[in-house]
Amino acid sequence: MTDKPEPITKVSIICASGDIESVYATLIMSNGAVMEGMEANIFFTFWGINAVKKHSMNKIKTAVIGNPAMPIPSILGLIPGLSWLASKAMMWRMNQLDIPPVDEFLEMIQAGGGRVFVCKAAVDMFMIKKEQLWDGVEDIITVGKFYELAAGGQIIFT
Does 137 reside within a domain?
yes
CATH number of the domain at 150, please: 3.40.1260.10
Question: What is the Cα 71 distance to its own chain's centre?
Answer: 23
Does 139 reside within a domain?
yes
In whole angstroms, give the CA distance from residue 64 to residue 74: 6
- pLDDT one-digit tens code per residue, 10-25: 999 999 999 889 999 9
Does 19 reside within a domain?
yes
Total number of domains in the chain: 1
- pLDDT one-digit tens code per residue, 76-92: 767 777 788 888 888 88
Other residues' Cβ atoms within 10 Å of the Cβ of residue 43: 26
Does 131 reside within a domain?
yes
Q: What residue numbers bound the domain in which 20 lies?
A: 12-62+101-157
Region class of 42: left (phi > 0), else alpha (psi between -120 and 50), else beta? beta
pTM to 2 decimals? 0.87
